[in-house]
Structure 1
Amino acid sequence: MDLISVIIPVYKTEAYLRRCIDSVLGQTWTNLQIIAVDDGSPDNSGVILDEYQKKDPRITVIHQENKGVSTARNAGLAMATGDYIGFVDSDDALAPNMYEVLVNLAKEYDAPISHCGYRRISKDGSTKEISGTGMLMVQNNQEAMDCLLSGRHFVGSLWNKLFDRRLLDGLSFREDLKINEDFLMAYQLFKKSERSVYIDRSLYLMFEREGSATSSGTKQDKREKDLLFVAEWIAKDSANTNFETAAQMRYIEILAIEYAWLLSSGRDGELLNIRKKLAETNWEKYDFRLTFKIKLMMLLYAPILYGLTNKVYRKIFKSNWDTV
């Protein structure tokens, strides 16, 4: 059995941590190195991790001062010795056979990246299958990058993926980012991988909760700036590649999100800078859907009208954040 190193950054998740750790320990693929990084949790998370470390030799616990999820993941990577690397969020859980399915697919299709769909469990206990068709996709580099950058078929998160260790050589998480740092890493890994395999089965269980990274904890202006930074970085990095168009379109979409947020928050002083960046992209030449082109035109040329119509739209339709 190849060894899988599972890296779990932990911060203030004592209520969910046992569920997470038990689901990893209960994997049908048993050759695991579980590296749990206590990122200075002020609750009992560190104590719980120490209990598990005493019970199972596969678990290694790192205690560090609170420095953020990227620093925690980097600390885990520094200790990882597995043939494959996986990442799990400490408030989530895995289906019992997730890693067995992913390793077998990676081997069968000689794919450095193997990943799956997921199920989202809301705070009220309701479940949403984000996937589940059973479809299998074996993709070359361009096909996978187009899907990653457009948000089509799968998401850019790390927790539902398994990576050949060699892909991570020379890479580390940016520790100055508070949001989208996982997407940036996913982009770099998919860029290096000539092939990937995706199974549309909900093998990862993501639990929505108060205080999670997707719901709170990071100031809105920092979130917006990090989203824009990552999108711009990828757009520049992808120049003269076969996925340049997909990267540019994602960058334009993030610029539009930033512009709309600045309008709604009254940050008039920054609008000119974003407007200039939008104009420089020549967004008219890209094959956006008509509704998005109308949105861009309203943002740029009729911002007051956009603000009014957007308020009505948001009352009628709730955004699906799984595709953002």
Structure 2
Amino acid sequence: MSTSEPLISIIVPVYNAEKYLPYCIKSILGQSYRNLEVILVDDGAKDSSPQICDSYAAKDSRIKVIHQENGGIGKAQNAGLDAAHGDYIAFADNDDILDRCNIELLLHALLDSGADMSKARWRQFGISQINQIAELAQQSIYRPEKVSIIKNPLHAYQTVFCKTLRLIGNILKQNTEAKYFNEANWCRLYKRELWNGIRFPEGMYAQDVMVAGKLYSRMSKVADVNHILYFWLQSPESVTHNERSFKFFHDNVIAGVSNFNFAIDNGILPKRSFYTMTTLLKQENESPDLASNFALQKKDTAQVKSALQRLTKTQKIQCQILTAIRLCEKKIYDIKIKNRK
């Protein structure tokens, strides 16, 4: 691959992932697109992850390792953004696996369409499947796939988030799966300038939610590749599936309120953010350490109440219906995760 082709910076926050990190790094180094800058940010890991990072860096000059004191994923992602030299930016979680054509297909879609960001589909897998998935990802062969152009991604982000309705939309030939946006930063390729002046809040669980609205509002169009290009490890012990502290719920409530108000200010009905802030506020009230955070909980409740007052009665009913659908889906999803091996 000629170095005249654009440089892609892939940022990987690393923390206590020694069991899975080699799979992730190998999947990145094995990309069909070769002009990469791989930034591994060791966020004060306590296991052998730092040594694994250094070992791979010694073998491949495309890897840059940053060692820092533990500060959370937001701080690690910011360190990667500050160190990145690429024309385009990608992220990966340290326990996930990239299809070998991930970067090539995402870049091709982005350049062909003139979009601000490209994204693709992903597949979940359990720990017992990791060797099978790693082999599958490396066997991928480049082939042109259907690319859809989505305009006004902020609107899509706030409205198309229930899996049930996406499936119905696809059956009705509405291409709704292509219109699905979430807060995850992986399986995307961003123009570098989208991140100018935007950084993740540090020390916060919902760092990706906090920047989602601002990022999407900067995009005029997004290219969606109808192909699985990313494999997402589902572990019952992960923070997403296991964390139940007051701070976890509080951070998500604050992020939900922030995105809710941002959407309203931009003339968009924030159906997703309604779901986020109302359901997480309820879970916040049930957190085991609520008693020591009662004053903050009252403040969160007031912020959610104030935000909801910006909706008409009809708008609130629309949001409540989608929230009920999404909660049913989440119960099914949680059961699957707990039973995944």
Interval of TM-score (by shorter of Structure 1 and Structure 2) = 0.7 to 0.9
Which structure 2 residues correspond to residues 1-324 of structure 1 after superposition, within 5 A? 1-123=5-127, 125=129, 136-140=147-151, 142=152, 144-152=153-161, 153=177, 154=180, 155-178=182-205, 180-216=206-242, 218-242=243-267, 244-245=268-269, 247=270, 249-262=271-284, 264=286, 270=297, 273=302, 276-277=305-306, 280-282=309-311, 284-286=313-315, 288=318, 291=321, 318-319=332-333
* Number of equivalences: 293
Asked if 1 retains the 8 angstrom alpha-carbon contact of 2:41 and 2:79, the reply is yes
Asked if 2 retains the 8 angstrom alpha-carbon contact of 1:255 and 1:274, the reply is no
Q: Which range moves more in the overlay, 218-227 or 1-10? A: 218-227
Asked if 2 retains the 8 angstrom alpha-carbon contact of 1:4 and 1:33, the reply is yes
1:14/1:201 CA distance change after superposition, 3 Å: same
Structure 1 residues 135-177: Cα deviation after superposition (integer angstroms, max 9, x where no partner): 532012x2x2122123433332101111000111111111031
1:277/1:292 CA distance change after superposition, 3 Å: farther
1:321/1:11 CA distance change after superposition, 3 Å: farther
TM superposition shift of 1:183: 2.7
Asked if 2 retains the 8 angstrom alpha-carbon contact of 1:114 and 1:161, the reply is yes
Query: Normalising by structure 2, what TM-score?
Result: 0.76
**Identical-residue share of aligned pairs (%):** 27
1:181/1:283 CA distance change after superposition, 3 Å: farther
**Could you say what the CA RMSD is over the residues aligned between the two structures, in angstroms?**
3.1
1:110/1:276 CA distance change after superposition, 3 Å: closer
Q: Which range moves more in the overlay, 114-123 or 21-30? A: 114-123
Q: Quote the residue 1:298 is aligned against.
A: none
TM superposition shift of 1:258: 3.1
Unaligned runs of 5+ in 1: 129-133, 296-309
| Aligned counterparts of 1:181 and 1:317: Cα–Cα separation in 2 | 24
| Aligned counterparts of 2:38 and 2:118: Cα–Cα separation in 1 | 19
| Aligned counterparts of 1:158 and 1:263: Cα–Cα separation in 2 | 29
Q: Which amino acid aligns with 2:155?
A: D
1:93/1:321 CA distance change after superposition, 3 Å: farther
Asked if 2 retains the 8 angstrom alpha-carbon contact of 1:252 and 1:281, the reply is no
Asked if 1 retains the 8 angstrom alpha-carbon contact of 2:12 and 2:39, the reply is yes
1:236 partner SS: helix
Q: Which amino acid aligns with 2:69?
A: E
Unaligned runs of 5+ in 2: 134-144, 162-176, 337-341
TM superposition shift of 1:69: 0.6
1:215 partner SS: helix
TM superposition shift of 1:94: 0.2
TM superposition shift of 1:254: 2.4
| Aligned counterparts of 1:101 and 1:75: Cα–Cα separation in 2 | 26
Query: Normalising by structure 1, what TM-score?
Result: 0.80
| Aligned counterparts of 1:167 and 1:98: Cα–Cα separation in 2 | 20
| Aligned counterparts of 1:282 and 1:27: Cα–Cα separation in 2 | 46
Higher relative contact order (CA 8 A, sep 6+): 2
